Structure formats: structure tokens, C-alpha cells
Copies of this chain bind each other. A is one copy, B any other.
Amino acid sequence: MRDASTPDPRDTLDAVGELAALARIIPRLPESAATLLGPGDDAAVLAAADGRYVVTTDMMIHGPDFRTAWSTMHDLGWKAAATNLSDVAAMGARPTALVVALAAPGSTPVPELEAFADGMRDACAALAPGCGVVGGDLSVSSVLTIAVTAFGDLEGRAPVTRSGAGEGDVIAVSGPLGLAAEGLALLFERGVDATGAPDATAAARLRAEHPEPLSAQLAPRPPIADGTLAARAGATAMLDLSDGLALDARRVARASGVGLDLDGALLAAAGPHALTGGEDHSLMATFPAAVAEQGLPGGFVAIGRVVAAPVDAEGRAVPAVLVDGRAVDERGGWDPFAEWSGQAG
């Protein structure tokens, strides 16, 4: 009997070939309710009911973006879908469809590619029902690489950009702050073997012990539906927290020409990574005070207030992020160019 953990050398991408592998993967992918013409031709055709569509693209690379000892292929399919859905939701749009280009080593077992497809399907079903995969590309590469482009429907509304935050608005977040970074810190600390290399057994044990931070890092559940709820409620600005609250809030501050004053006690309660931890894919939005008084939509919780941009010594307004009224300069987040060690694992 074959050990379940030993891949069958006759069932790899190289051995099976691109077309046969695709024939096994495609049926597992979720269908999109927006499909007018599905996969199988030179291109797909999608409906854009209000004459517009939202588009975002993102790539995940083995090494700087994930370790295969820590992430299962199901995790990677899930995360590739979830992070792109989150960018669509951050515009106030409902995600409708994805296309995915996957490049994998020829030695990759086809069941691993099936698990990747299952991860995309499960993420769409859980986070954005009706959203599905309408096209893709399968290639061979020595570096596992995933490129997803996601689409959304604004349903007649204006997009919620980063530039609309106004003085007096309430700043709110839906989803965790710093939980994904807590998971990553645990993995780097304890998801490794004696030599410090990423280790699948250690990671699996860690995940059982600390399911919340580990899942936040490896298979995040962004509050996709809260994107449209925020837009309907009148959010003035919104974005996906991918690079950490400090860095992402500064983007809103600069685009809107304001200060974003965060509540230090709430950040402290959220834990040590709340201000600088990346990859939460929570939504940060600003709402008029009158909206907040009526009750914030979905899972949004107030974390601060939009104020006038602080003024520097020469009297110039300098949009910035503040905590309890004092400007912060913590960068946070994750810059693979600056920080990637060159290791994979």
C-alpha cells in the first residue's frame, strides 16, 4: 500500500501533461454567476450590469510570499482568492469573478493542484458566494507562482476610494488587527526545525495549538460582504489592510489630505502587532459621524477619528497617522524587496 504522504511519481504535472492536468483541475473550480461565456475559448465574457467593472491583480511567489512547508496548497488557493476578493470589496464592490495563472514545478503532484483549486472554490463559497473562476493559465516554472486577477460589480454605486475621508469621520475596522502577523511570528519562531528551516510537522502542530493567528496568516477570512455594506452605509473612504494599519492608514491620510487619529487603548488591546502587522486583509473605512451614531454596518468597530492634517514647523499641513493625537512614524508591513532573505522552504 502506498503511503498517503508519498506522491505518486506517475501523477505529476510533468508525467500527466498540461491538458490532462487542466481537465482534472477545471471542474473543481467555482463557477461565476456573472459568466456569459465561460472558460474554453480564447477569452471569457462577463456581465457588467451597471456598465462598469472593478479590476485588481496580485501575485504570490514561493519564498517572499509563502513557504510550502507552512501553507498547504489548499491554503494557497484560499489565500490567493481571499486577498484579491478583499481588494475588490475595499472598493465597495461585490466580487463576481477571478482568473488565475499558476506556474508550478513539473514535479508537482496533480492532487496538489486539485487541492489548490479546492482552496479557491472553498474561499469563494465562504467569502463571496456567486464569485467563481472564469479563466486561467497553467505553466511550468521552478518557482511556484500564483497570479490572480479579480473582478467586481459596484451595483450602480460610486467606488469607495482612499481619498474621501473628511474631518470628523469615524475610522472603523472590520476584521482582526495584527492577527496574521502574530501567526507569522509564531511560524518563524516555532514552525521551524532545529536548523531554523520551515518545517511542515512543526507548523501543523502549531496550527492545532494556535488556530486563530495561524489561520489568519495562512488562510485569511477577509470580511468581504462588509465592503458592500460599508459602501451602502455611506463610507467616505475604504481600503484593504494588507501592509499593516500604520502604512495603510497613512495612504488614506495622504489621499484624503487629513490626519487619522487612532485610539491607543484599542490598539493596545488588539495586541503587539495591531499597528504594524501586515496581511490581515481586514477592511478599514471612514464613516460620517452621523452614520456611526446610527450604528456601524456589518463587523465594523470604531478605532479612531479623522482630524485635520497636523501642521509642521513651517505651517504646512502634513497628512499623517496619529495615536491619541501624536503622529506615529512606524512603517510596519512587509516589503519583500527589502526583507526577503532569499530563502524558500
Q: How far is the CB of A80 from chain B (nearest CB, A)?
A: 12
Q: Mark A302-345, 1 if CB is under 8 A from B, else 0.
A: 00000000000000000000000000000000011110100000
Q: Which residues of B contact A59 (CB under 8 A)?
A: 101, 103, 137, 139, 145, 147
Q: Which residues of B contact A337 (CB under 8 A)?
A: 13-14, 17-18, 106, 140
Contact A52 B57, CB 8 Å, known A87-B42, A145-B141, A149-B149:
no
From A55, A91, A145, residue with most partner B Cβ within 10 Å: A55
Q: Which residues of B contact A52 (CB under 8 A)?
A: 36, 45-48
Q: Which of A129-172 contact B (CB under 8 A)?
A: 134-137, 139-143, 145, 147, 149-152, 154, 159, 161-162
- Contact across chains for B46 and A49 when beta carbons are under 8 A apart: no
Q: Which residues of B contact A135 (CB under 8 A)?
A: 55-57
Q: Which of A191-212 contact B (CB under 8 A)?
A: none
Q: A42-B240, A53-B53, A139-B336 are in contact. List 10 more A-B contacts (CB 8 A).
A: A41-B91, A43-B87, A43-B91, A45-B91, A57-B147, A58-B137, A59-B137, A61-B140, A64-B139, A143-B145
- Contact across chains for B140 and A143 when beta carbons are under 8 A apart: no
Please give me the residue from chain B that is nearest to A65 by CB atom.
B139
Contact A141 B91, CB 8 Å, known A17-B337, A135-B56, A149-B99:
no
Please give me the residue from chain B that is nearest to A50 by CB atom.
B51
In the complex, the count of this chain's copies comes to: 2
**Cα distance A88–B338 when bound, in Å?**
37
Contact A101 B51, CB 8 Å, known A63-B141, A65-B139, A337-B18:
no
A43: which of B17, B48, B152, B335 is its contact (CB, 8 Å)?
B152
Q: How far is the CB of A11 from chain B (nearest CB, A)?
A: 14
Q: Which of A23-75 contact B (CB under 8 A)?
A: 36-37, 41-59, 61, 63-65
**Cα distance A135–B295 when bound, in Å?**
35
The answer to the question of A90 belonging to the interface, with a C-beta cut-off of 8 Å to chain B, is: yes
The answer to the question of A239 belonging to the interface, with a C-beta cut-off of 8 Å to chain B, is: yes
Contact A46 B53, CB 8 Å, known A18-B335, A65-B139, A145-B141:
yes
**Cα distance A53–B50 when bound, in Å?**
12
Q: How far is the CB of A48 from chain B (nearest CB, A)?
A: 4
**Cα distance A337–B19 when bound, in Å?**
10
